[in-house]
Structure 1
């Protein structure tokens, strides 16, 4: 089976606008990072989380659930639940045994740990556009003042089901799928995250250390992470195809970026 655990921390913010789901029985891992300030981001992230739960439970496909939940955030703002302009990111994985579907909107990320840390989701952000065009390096991206400017969000613009990115994969025994908000990735580099996952087999302990390190590194934003781990009954990793990586990081400090179509 797949174990799913989650943890969140308010960081230095006055309010935690992150929401997460870590439900192994249901097979869902989800992180949503609200944006828009008090009475906005927390409302948007809550609508995203509860809306996704309800729609997936009702049997909707992942893209349909995301498109319909996006409209629910827009409708809520127009009807006075929250405020116009509120939004949230979303990264969600739905498991069927060891197989999973993965979708995302915004810059909350999913990583596969299989001895190295492979970023599976490509941020909807200005910085990612600059990385993809070769106008910025990974080091410059981490330090850029634009790194939190996203180009897509739940509750903003249009998100038809046909435009929802989706990946399908299988989690092999010992492999892990990490979903997280940018409160973690803004504070910790890929190699730093890889070093924790390489040395901490216990999910609760690994999450505790990741969040604590992000707090110690500054904790400027809310920090949320969900970790799905395949047990020893999972399929052999060597027999599984690898999903394309946006970045690859190792605990020895190596980090590499791959533009679209690489």
Structure 2
């Protein structure tokens, strides 16, 4: 029994293995896993395999162990230029020929043969190589799926007799299938000593407990023995913890091939998503709240409008969001749920449903945000931006509309469709995105956007968070504004400390060289200031300064009363 944890080129998985003799005198099953070693092996990835020596024949154990060991060595020694299928077939052909030859020259090994089932992990893809009646299952989204077919007669008294096995014939015919890997799914490799006595419902029940892979493998073997299995019982469980990021070209090809169809309405079923209600409708997209019928999760689906069918920039936005989702895992960043290619039949993106409101919605209702709450929010928003910048991603549209305040107290920065990303070509110059009132001066001059322009937008957002206004005024699209001195924050919020206005002023400086070195420095300034300082007490100002109209109205009223008193005395 072994356990293996790996982090291999961003592919993270954990393996558990158990094999029991049961009522047999010896164990003719064999299982093992191997990881490609950099600078030693020709190929990368991981292979896990289970083999079951054909019972009733001499050399069953030798055949199963030899096949697994030789396949692991042979597969990783073949050039990486060979595809997985070709490399697997070449390895099995050599092993099959050797076993057949040994059975001919050694009477003790006559008729030796074995089943063989392997799971190969390579990048974001999984591959199954299969001969015989051992099985590979996938447990995904609480559903169990058998990925192999049993090569048995299937009828009458010989229904369990093998039609194919390694070493049975001069040539071996293997099955091969490929599929995408997804985080949090489980794979089960097992011999017929396990699946022959445990129903699919029982297998699913044990896998659904989500115990560690080693414990799950042991539970499966023990359950098979308890169910009366008279054969060896072998189980190998592989948990996919995380997958490598998607490549840019892969994403471009995927989204380019998906059709843009008229957006559906409530009650429609799309790829096992039931659309429940309309959340928002715009010129370019429709947002629908939906339920994933495979998992029961509440999600939000963004469908493009048909008018953008030929809009390359809009398709580019879908690539951007998917690219960010595959590379940035942060509690501050809105998630985009990656869809397996075999499920998605049209262009759309899927996001979790976050229960809350945008910062802009919060600003439009009373009471206004206090100093303490605002400082905390500003720090959290800055952390979200820092998470992107560390991944080399420029958001380019930071504003209150793209900041979600969750009811549980969390915060998410969303709408990454216009982000500037590494390894991806940018939008055409005429399509450079942004919201004018939050855009840095250099963007109006044609700059593509960088960390300094994101810092500027963050500073404007924090200014608006406290004042509900814009430091340089609201800027209309298709205009080229002139940036003078920003409007005073103290005039709108005299209850705020002076240092806060100074920090914001530096973040929104017209000259990028006058801004903070990065967003993290701005975040530290706000967080440190909030911890060490207190908001200044509101300064008492004369009524004339606060409300000149009320001052003159009150003065006139007093003069009128005085005049009446004087006249009454006369």
Q: TM-score, normalised by structure 2?
A: 0.37
Assess if the C-alpha contact under 8 Å between 1:47 and 1:72 holds in 2: no
Q: Deviations over 1:86-123 (max 9, x none)?
A: 11000012212342221110000111110111001011
Give how far 1:145 is off: 5.2
Give the superposed CA RMSD: 2.3
Would the aligned equivalents of 1:36 and 1:86 in 2 still touch at CA under 8 Å? no
1:117 aligns with 2:138: no
- Report the equivalent of 2:46: 27
Whether 1:167 and 2:168 are equivalent positions in the alignment is no
Secondary structure, aligned partner of 1:11: coil
Matches within 5 A, 1:73-222: 73-80=99-106, 82-114=108-140, 115-127=142-154, 146-160=158-172, 163-222=173-232
- Name the structure where strand makes up a greater proportion of residues: 1
Would the aligned equivalents of 1:108 and 1:182 in 2 still touch at CA under 8 Å?
yes
Whole-angstrom distance in 2 between the partners of 1:57 and 1:82: 31
1:3-14 counterparts in 2 under 5 A?
3-14=14-25
CA contact (8 A) 1:112 1:118 kept: yes
How far 1:237 moved relative to its partner? 7.7
CA distance in 1, matches of 2:34, 2:14: 8
- Kept in 2, the 8 Å contact 1:187–1:217? The answer is yes
Counterpart contact for 1:112–1:120, Cα < 8 Å:
yes
- 1:85 deviates by 1.1
* Structure 1 residue 67: Cα displacement: 1.5
Q: CA deviation at 1:200?
A: 2.6
Q: Deviations over 1:55-84 (max 9, x none)?
A: 112117011111111111112212328421
Summarize deviations over 1:138-195 as a string: whole Å, max 9, x none.
xxxxxx75443110011011335xx421111122111011111100011101110001
SS at match of 1:126: coil
1:17 deviation in Å?
0.2
CA distance change for structure 1 residues 24 and 197 in 2, over 3 Å: closer, same or farther? farther
Structure 1 residues 233 and 102, CA gap change in structure 2 (3 angstroms)? closer
Do residues 70 (structure 1) and 96 (structure 2) align?
Answer: yes
Which whole-Å CA distance do the structure 1 matches of 2:119 and 2:107 have between them?
27
Q: How far off is 1:204 after superposition?
A: 1.1
Match of 2:239 in 1: 229
**SS class of match (2:194):** helix
Pair 1:53-2:53 in alignment: no
- Residue of structure 1 in register with 2:340 after alignment: 240
Helix, strand or coil at the partner of 1:113: strand
Distance 1:71 1:232 in 2: 38
Asked if structure 2 preserves the Cα contact closer than 8 Å seen for 1:30 and 1:179, the reply is yes
Q: Give the greater-gyration-radius structure (CA).
A: 2
In 1, Cα distance between the equivalents of 2:73 and 2:339?
Answer: 35
DSSP-derived class of the 1:239 partner: coil
**Contact in 2 for aligned 1:5/1:22 (Cα 8 Å):** no
Query: What 5-or-longer segments of structure 1 have no aligned partner?
Result: 131-143, 244-262
For the Cα contact (< 8 Å) 1:22–1:226, is it kept in 2? no
Paired with 2:97 and 2:187, the residues of 1 have a C-alpha distance of 28
Runs (4 or more) in structure 1 with deviation over 4 Å come to: 232-238
Give, in whole Å, the separation in 1 of the partners of 2:178 and 2:95. Answer: 21
Hey, what does 1:44 align to over in structure 2? 63
Q: Distance in 1 between matches of 2:29 and 2:337?
A: 32
CA distance in 2, matches of 1:181, 1:145: 21
Separation in structure 1 between the aligned mates of residue 107 and residue 31 of structure 2, nearest angstrom: 20
Out of 214-223 and 73-82, give the one that drifted further: 73-82
CA distance in 2, matches of 1:110, 1:237: 26
Name the SS for the 1:21 alignment partner. strand
Question: Matched residue of 2:23: which SS?
Answer: coil
8 Å Cα contact 2:193/2:224 also seen in 1: yes
Matches of 1:43 and 1:82 in 2, distance apart?
11
The runs of 5 or more residues in structure 2 that have no matched partner are 1-11, 37-44, 80-86, 245-325, 327-335, 344-570
Report SS of the residue matched to 2:62.
helix
Please give the TM-score of this superposition, normalised by the length of structure 1.
Answer: 0.79
Q: Distance in 2 between matches of 1:237 and 1:102?
A: 25
